[in-house]
Structure 1
Amino acid sequence: MNPTPLKDRAAIVGIGQTEFAKHLEPSEKALACRAIAMALDDAGIAAHEVDAFAAYTMEATDEVEIAKAVGAGDVTFFSRVGFGGGGSCATVGHLAMAIATGQASVGVAWRSRKRGSGPRPWTDTVNQLATPAQWTRPFGLLRPVDEIAILARRYMHEYGLTREQLGAVAIACRNRANANPAAIMYDRPLTLDDYLSARMISDPLCLFDNCLETDGALAVVMVSAERARDCRQAPVYVHAFGQGLPAQHHGMVNYWNDDPLAGPSWIAAKQLWKHSDLGPADVDVAQIYDAFTPLIPLSLEGYGFCGKGEGGAFADDGGLELAGRLPINTSGGGLSEAYVHGFNLINEGVRQLRGTSTNQVDGASTCLVTAGEAVPTSAVLLRRD
């Protein structure tokens, strides 16, 4: 019996994305359909061949409306992954599993957001709070940034993480955005002085520790490895996939665990590497979920690129830059390209392996893409021939 039946059995053959902006006129549904149409055209596949969809929660559009609007055929597989940005990579993993097991032949995953012009979900005090929020919001942790600030302060206390190290994360992402015309921050350089003098949002996290609020949509198209060879674009294979929900996990603060700094990425990483022929040392470039800068060092540790407590130091001396130990977020990521709940990281991973990134890593043949750390999460390892 093949212990890794998913490995390299499915491939991403099409990607699409709309423009990113603070405010776009089209609805989230219209933006989603545009991105999907572009991804199908990129792959050279007709809409009526689509028989699978995967999305993740906090998505306003649904499979029924999207399938009708884009002209899909009969749909035999659909999934919706929980926990917001933690589900981004799981959409690719779920479609890969569906294709590998014969449940579907042409899959579409998408994300459409109007967070730049729409309401902020954490300001809604009408709806009943989910269980984790009942234990945090009454005590002042009103927004995601407040919860991540708690983790960051613990990290500083335990391992000496510095604001300069967090600044290096923000600057690495901004440097990549400055070479990407599609990025919101394309024409806005960031220096360490800019970072250190920025206003505090939730101490110790300042303005530049926070992701953007963006309108836009993205999509990918997936097929079997066999069919991928006949598609318009060179295939990018889903080599491995993992999800992670630690025992006794609680919200973003994670303070019920024995070690709050060993978050969901540690569990997802075990699954990912267990089913892979490769390890962290084989990864040429990474797209790491960056809703907030501390998630980068925490993820570097969780996925095995450095030891516990060493994630901050990993970013020093250009470790995350193009010529560094591990180039990350080469389109600018959520901090400086656009925040679309992490889906732009997937598309950029595909571009890196196609050799079409605006910040191309020479010879890149493997790319790790991760979803939101500090919430139940997911990750995929992509590769090319």
Structure 2
Amino acid sequence: MAGTARAAGSGSGAALKDATAVVGIGRTAFAKHLPGSEKALACRAVLAALDDAGISPAEVDALASYTMEETDEVEVAKAVGFGDLTFFSKVGFGGGGSCATVAHLAGAVATGQATVGVAWRSRKRGSGPRPWRNTAVQLPTPAQWTRPFGLLRPADEIAMLTRRYLHEYGATRDHLFNVALACRNRANQNPAAVMYERPLTRDMYMNSRWISEPLCLFDNCLETDGALACVVVSAERARDCRHRPVYVHAAAQGLPAQHHGMVNYWNDDPLTGPAWTAARHLWKHADLTPQDVDVAQIYDAFTSLVPLSLEGYGFCGRGEGGAFTEGGALEIGGRLPLNTSGGGLSEAYVHGFNLITEGVRQLRGTSTAQVPGAATCLVTAGEGVPTSALLLRN
């Protein structure tokens, strides 16, 4: 898309700009149930990403993952055969941490703390336990203030936020359906997606059961098993790797003042979530604007997070996220093609890491739902929770 470039930022963001690139991506299959442990899935994804980059495991000296990742650095390093590690980090807040794993590696490589970084996420949630079923273990957390009143699951918390959004701005379930449909349409082009060859219609959506009103079955992400990984190196080294480099142009994390748990209920303005904080930092350090973004991978654990994120990252005005989805805007050929592998709603839900790898495929030109001429991609992590974002370019 055409747009007006802005002046380069200063400080650490400027030092990070285009200094590193994602050169390898890997994944396992996605399914309701996969054999093997989370550790085994993680190792397969990491090895696949390194093979994709043409880099030996012995060269890896940096790792980044999530605090919720149950396979730690020591176990992955031993099993895969890494050399000495000089940087390793973990990012909190589940799906809010996805983009930050890559950002941490980019910072480490750009500042010379490491040369080859691997980020990964492995989950067995399709066949594993549902952690929110045992509410007693959550009482020492901020959930002690909400669980007694019926907000037992993330779906319940986001449902309350969604109801406020629909009421405040006149958004409708048709707008949420537009999000679900765009993701499902892309999944139907992606043989790796759990929902491949399973079309979604408006009647199916409108007549599906409630999960937490106003969120129905198709407003909620999948529960899947699977693992993904990516490899980050310097821009200089990236030129010698197997595939076209995908540069980390800008990165950001966002935790708003007075934030509480999953959502911003206690803030003066509950509908301006962490995306707004991350977006200010992201665009400040970028030479691009939202109008320059060719394709977006927007975190979609729930459909309503997408219009909230569209507003937060500046694609439309406050309260206009629902209307933005109209007229096929999120489809290929629309104003902002979105979640082109199917996203968490229809490809797989692995805490948003599949959005990163799909962003890389788009900029390589190898997506199953390729946006013609895609040169820039925004990837976001979970809205509602402390979050992160990446602006990628080729």
Per the normalisation by structure 1, the TM-score is 0.98
Aligned length: 384
Partner residue, 2:271: 261
1:329 to 2:364 alignment:
no
Work out which of the residue numbers 147, 165, 168 in structure 1 matches 2:157. 147
Work out which of the residue numbers 104, 109, 112 in structure 2 matches 1:102. 112
- Residue pair 1:168, 1:192 contacting (<8 A) in 2 also: no
Q: How does 1:1-385 map to 2 (within 5 A)?
A: 3=11, 4-384=14-394
CA distance in 2, matches of 1:249, 1:131: 14
- Residue pair 2:10, 2:285 contacting (<8 A) in 1 also: no
Residue 126 of structure 1 and its aligned partner are, at CA, apart by: 4.7
One-letter amino acid of the counterpart of residue 203, structure 1: E
Q: 1:46 to 1:359 in 2, by over 3 A?
A: same
Partner residue, 2:5: none
What secondary structure is seen at the aligned counterpart in 1 of 2:135? coil
- Residue pair 1:31, 1:112 contacting (<8 A) in 2 also: yes
- RMSD over aligned CA atoms reads 1.0
Unaligned runs of 5+ residues in structure 1 are none
CA distance in 1, matches of 2:138, 2:370: 45
Deviates more, 1:130-139 or 1:76-85: 130-139
- Residue pair 1:28, 1:60 contacting (<8 A) in 2 also: yes
CA distance in 2, matches of 1:130, 1:33: 33
Deviates more, 1:119-128 or 1:257-266: 119-128
Residue 236 of structure 1 and its aligned partner are, at CA, apart by: 0.3
Residue 125 of structure 1 and its aligned partner are, at CA, apart by: 3.5
CA distance in 2, matches of 1:198, 1:257: 33
Deviates more, 1:14-23 or 1:122-131: 122-131
Residue 130 of structure 1 and its aligned partner are, at CA, apart by: 4.7
User: Which whole-Å deviations, capped at 9, do the CAs of 1:187-214 have from their partners, x for residues lacking one?
Assistant: 1100111111110110100000000000
What secondary structure is seen at the aligned counterpart in 1 of 2:77? helix
- Residue pair 2:300, 2:345 contacting (<8 A) in 1 also: yes
- Residue pair 1:150, 1:253 contacting (<8 A) in 2 also: no
User: Which whole-Å deviations, capped at 9, do the CAs of 1:273-295 have from their partners, x for residues lacking one?
Assistant: 00000010000000000000000
One-letter amino acid of the counterpart of residue 135, structure 1: W
- Residue pair 2:115, 2:234 contacting (<8 A) in 1 also: yes
What secondary structure is seen at the aligned counterpart in 2 of 1:15? strand
CA distance in 1, matches of 2:233, 2:149: 47
User: Which whole-Å deviations, capped at 9, do the CAs of 1:55-79 have from their partners, x for residues lacking one?
Assistant: 0122111111111111000000000
Per the normalisation by structure 2, the TM-score is 0.96
CA distance in 2, matches of 1:149, 1:126: 22
Residue 252 of structure 1 and its aligned partner are, at CA, apart by: 2.2
One-letter amino acid of the counterpart of residue 239, structure 1: H
- Residue pair 2:23, 2:233 contacting (<8 A) in 1 also: yes
User: Which whole-Å deviations, capped at 9, do the CAs of 1:262-320 have from their partners, x for residues lacking one?
Assistant: 00000000110000000100000000000000000000000000000000001111111
Deviates more, 1:235-244 or 1:249-258: 249-258
One-letter amino acid of the counterpart of residue 29, structure 2: E
Unaligned runs of 5+ residues in structure 2 are 1-8
- Residue pair 1:31, 1:216 contacting (<8 A) in 2 also: yes
One-letter amino acid of the counterpart of residue 131, structure 1: T
One-letter amino acid of the counterpart of residue 225, structure 1: A
CA distance in 2, matches of 1:112, 1:341: 9
Q: 1:2 to 1:259 in 2, by over 3 A?
A: closer
% identity of equivalent residues: 78
Q: 1:165 to 1:128 in 2, by over 3 A?
A: closer
- Residue pair 2:263, 2:273 contacting (<8 A) in 1 also: no
CA distance in 2, matches of 1:262, 1:253: 10
One-letter amino acid of the counterpart of residue 61, structure 2: D
Residue 323 of structure 1 and its aligned partner are, at CA, apart by: 1.2
CA distance in 2, matches of 1:22, 1:193: 25
- Residue pair 2:25, 2:357 contacting (<8 A) in 1 also: yes
Deviates more, 1:127-136 or 1:137-146: 127-136
CA distance in 1, matches of 2:170, 2:62: 46
CA distance in 2, matches of 1:340, 1:81: 15
- Residue pair 1:36, 1:219 contacting (<8 A) in 2 also: yes
What secondary structure is seen at the aligned counterpart in 2 of 1:42? helix
